[in-house]
Structure 1
């Protein structure tokens, strides 16, 4: 018999169990099913009994009748008995062996550690990435219960989290993960299936080459490209890769080029060189070859680079001609960006010698690449080439400085730069150019000595607010790596940040200079570097009581009110305020907002507690 009507009736009974049996009276859904039950009841006593039970629910009797709950329970018991005897349950498919996996994962982690990870990988919103990364570093993902969600993370809407799962979490399970991923791999899928395929290949491509080849031939374009890249290094598939490198679809050709570049075969190298010479895919190839290629490819591209440089048009050839020539040269610079060979070194030396020729074409980026290459060479010949280039164009002064810093002594660095850029007798255009070079030099040195990086740490109260801190070179590093004359040079250039870094005990001039920045109306530009000023005063050995008084005075300046938060160096100084500053701090509190106000309130409470 058909159980469709009985199943539908069972669903309505379940609804009434949840909603309440009292709501069965007059229920329109039960009224809709009742005529069918009564019709079947004419031929079957069971259906007749079920129909009577439904009628009882729809029209409950008076005080002597059964309670709605009891009536619902009685008719449900009858219905489930019928369903149990009439229904059939049969597993689909053909019986076979139960799959056995060789994972050595256990389930020893307490659920309180698993719960945040499960929530992070089953929801959306901010903060999930940090939860997952921290859990992985603590080894939480070695719990078997997190294996399914680790795989599902490949489809996470936050791409960085999905990539982290592919690159870090899944490989940590070992080669066994590839077989597990294959069970759900869909060659016709999208980005999540691409990640799955890449994880399979990374875990053990050689064990699943048949699957990878099948995906390369029959998958979606994304899957095909990913699968083709996985075949790099397998000589038996070189013929297929060569064929794919001529495919009509750009994404397939690019994947084939990538695999050939990774494979390192002679035939693959020949194909890459051929495609680069043909220019059709030169721009695409540049990005591929920049990540790695056989040495013979780089050698041939280098030689071709020289040929095209020598064949560059004259500056009278017209803008379109020179722009087209530059477009064809740009892929060489991308391809050879990480290459270091004597041949390439000679090419960039040639470029620097032909400065007038190539600068007349407007090829400034060519000299940027040449200067970068020579800077990284860091030998005496390259240093002199950069010195000449910096004389031609102040744009390349930083390259010259960086190379000198790596090549010669700190004393000679100052002699080359600090002693030649401060001539006060220059006038007119010469003075303007000297000032420009000095300002550029200030910025270049700041990159190496000031605000090298930021870090954050929790420093106050239970709210866990993180305060920023900017790191500069330590006094020990300055003494070992920099000539002491840079301090006087910095003061002369009014380079505040550098004066703070190079400050040292016994130099009265730096104390006067830095204190002068805190006297009178507080300037806005010094607000951003307020912490640096006090670090400099500490390095200059100014007594702490005087430094604390200067900081308190700076806070009392009317212009110091647009802060969001104090970094933890300044906050640490405030924690050392004497208790007598409490009234002065209370006076200025209304002028501050945001986190800095909360910080000052915290300091105020601490000072009051000391009184």
Structure 2
């Protein structure tokens, strides 16, 4: 039996059943199906029965519509169930399995909905939501695969790139057919991400698509394809592309040559480094490990230094020469060979003269470039850098702290830099207080940025984040100098001073008339150090009326609820019982998730 028209009737009946029988009377979509049903009824009486039932629905009124719609629904379901085709003709073939099967995870529906919306909607804060969700491990879930693939074509590139690099690779090779299905080697940024993703999950299988893109792909896709070439056989092609008109194509070619590292590839990169305005080659030079590349960078750095020192302060070429020296120093970062070490120590002795030749830049950019390079070079360069930390401004001090954290023990780091916090407190109202405060803030920020604590709200940590163990005395000093941000960051359980200090500030902010981000950070710290009153202060913050940003603060507090122990559930439920229904609804899901947590 041919049933397309019956399938249409079924779809319309389902639509009306969802909308309600009150809208079925005179429905024009059903009415259009009556003539073809009557015509089919001339050969098969069952179609005439259906046409009669459809007419009954169309001609009904509000009182008779429910019964008419139910009668039609029963009839059409019975016909399709007994007469509909449930298979396909032809020989059965086993389906080829690509990768491993993906089964749904036991993630709360609220989490899946929030993450799916963040990947496909527009607006600010979406990247943070996706990053934060990784801690709750919702991927790989087939229910989120569609939104994740759609995110590759989004308008906010940071979300698109994050999904391509961190989310979709979790699905493995099983998503290859879905990615290939939409891949267009002449497409735009979304297709460039698809090619990059294919190479991540299936490098061998992606090779043919890389070749397609290299042959006649769009600029965006071609750049990704070039960046994936690592076969020495491709060096000739990469050398050709290193002379392309498009700067980003040249950069991709030089980066690939730097990583291949063959003699021919290194010679081409070295030649590019020696060209004064070849910024793309200098960017790739940092990755080059071949001796020829290092020799070219050192040679050009010595020339650039000599040219800069020979330049007068008002010379029109000063900016260009200063920029070139800094670019070459960047290419020398993370190199610990003796020649680089010698060059940097020599530059350090001349840094005062070098810093005077900044051109239009500010903040002693040349001198800072030397310091940053020394911090990543060798113990000898770092020792020299650290020994003179008191002579630097706040920017140089930041580099010296970084150098110390790379090699010194926690005790030595404290002995070297704790005096800046003490000095800022003692000079609070005296001469030089602004400078002292700036240096103290530099030290405090460096400690915070290198601590082991991960934000409970946006707990995605960059891959290159360096965690440094801190001397316990920093916490006591932070309390003594009233550095609230540092106390929040490095507070630890069972430290009575930290508990009292944070509790005092929590009470202060709760008594205030408005909310503040400091209160949110204090609540995080109280929860993290397992303060006995952490749940109490959180519930007080939840009950406090917020004039602006209600949705924002309720979202924040919901995330904090997820970090509480399950023993907090009775107190949270009591809090919700005291709230207005609309306010309580904002936290019900978070409390339920906490209750159901394994």
Normalised TM-score (structure 2): 0.60
Match of 2:522 in 1: 567
Change beyond 3 A, Cα 1:292–1:561: farther
Counterpart-to-counterpart distance in 1, 2:478 and 2:37: 95
1:210 alignment partner, one of 208, 211, 216: 208
Asked if the contact 2:255–2:284 (Cα under 8 Å) also holds between the matched residues in 1, the reply is yes
2:325 alignment partner, one of 325, 329, 332: 329
1:248 alignment partner, one of 231, 245, 266: 245
2:107 alignment partner, one of 90, 106, 113: 113
Counterpart-to-counterpart distance in 1, 2:409 and 2:60: 102
Change beyond 3 A, Cα 1:402–1:253: closer
Change beyond 3 A, Cα 1:528–1:556: closer
Counterpart-to-counterpart distance in 2, 1:159 and 1:273: 33
Asked if the contact 2:322–2:366 (Cα under 8 Å) also holds between the matched residues in 1, the reply is no
Asked if the contact 2:329–2:373 (Cα under 8 Å) also holds between the matched residues in 1, the reply is no
Change beyond 3 A, Cα 1:303–1:149: same
Match of 2:262 in 1: 265
SS at structure 2 position matched to 1:123: helix
Deviates more, 1:255-264 or 1:190-199: 190-199
Counterpart-to-counterpart distance in 2, 1:376 and 1:387: 16
Counterpart-to-counterpart distance in 2, 1:57 and 1:593: 52
Normalised TM-score (structure 1): 0.59
Counterpart-to-counterpart distance in 2, 1:346 and 1:318: 30
1:275 alignment partner, one of 272, 281, 295: 272
Alpha-carbon distance, 1:300 to partner: 0.8
Counterpart-to-counterpart distance in 2, 1:382 and 1:68: 84
Q: Confirm or deny that 1:339 pairs with 2:331.
A: no
Q: Confirm or deny that 1:368 pairs with 2:368.
A: yes
Alpha-carbon distance, 1:256 to partner: 1.5
CA RMSD of aligned residues (A): 6.4
Alpha-carbon distance, 1:340 to partner: 2.8
Change beyond 3 A, Cα 1:477–1:147: same
Alpha-carbon distance, 1:231 to partner: 1.2
Change beyond 3 A, Cα 1:384–1:59: closer
Equivalent residues, number: 504
Counterpart-to-counterpart distance in 2, 1:397 and 1:7: 74
Change beyond 3 A, Cα 1:437–1:347: farther
Alpha-carbon distance, 1:339 to partner: 2.5
Alpha-carbon distance, 1:100 to partner: 0.8
Match of 1:198 in 2: 196
Change beyond 3 A, Cα 1:315–1:176: same
Alpha-carbon distance, 1:259 to partner: 1.4
Deviates more, 1:393-402 or 1:72-81: 72-81
Once the two structures are superposed, residues 42-84 of structure 1 have per-residue CA deviations (whole angstroms, 9 ceiling, x without a partner) of: x9998999988887777689xxxx99956995899799989x9
Alpha-carbon distance, 1:22 to partner: 8.1
Deviates more, 1:444-453 or 1:189-198: 444-453
Match of 1:351 in 2: 347
Counterpart-to-counterpart distance in 2, 1:129 and 1:78: 44
Counterpart-to-counterpart distance in 2, 1:10 and 1:154: 36
Q: Confirm or deny that 1:123 pairs with 2:117.
A: yes
Counterpart-to-counterpart distance in 2, 1:412 and 1:27: 79
Change beyond 3 A, Cα 1:163–1:4: closer
Once the two structures are superposed, residues 240-290 of structure 1 have per-residue CA deviations (whole angstroms, 9 ceiling, x without a partner) of: 22222222222322222221112112221122222232344x223333333
Q: Confirm or deny that 1:320 pairs with 2:275.
A: no
Asked if the contact 2:410–2:470 (Cα under 8 Å) also holds between the matched residues in 1, the reply is no
Counterpart-to-counterpart distance in 2, 1:390 and 1:173: 51
Asked if the contact 1:228–1:259 (Cα under 8 Å) also holds between the matched residues in 2, the reply is yes
| Unmatched segments (≥5 aa) in structure 1 | 423-430, 459-463, 479-496, 504-513, 518-525, 577-588, 606-611
Change beyond 3 A, Cα 1:393–1:377: same
Match of 2:477 in 1: 501
Alpha-carbon distance, 1:189 to partner: 3.5
Counterpart-to-counterpart distance in 1, 2:355 and 2:175: 56
Counterpart-to-counterpart distance in 1, 2:65 and 2:448: 83
State how 1:425-504 maps to structure 2 within 5 Å: 442-443=440-441, 446=444, 453=451, 455=453, 500-501=476-477
Match of 2:298 in 1: 302
Once the two structures are superposed, residues 148-172 of structure 1 have per-residue CA deviations (whole angstroms, 9 ceiling, x without a partner) of: 6665564567766654554445445
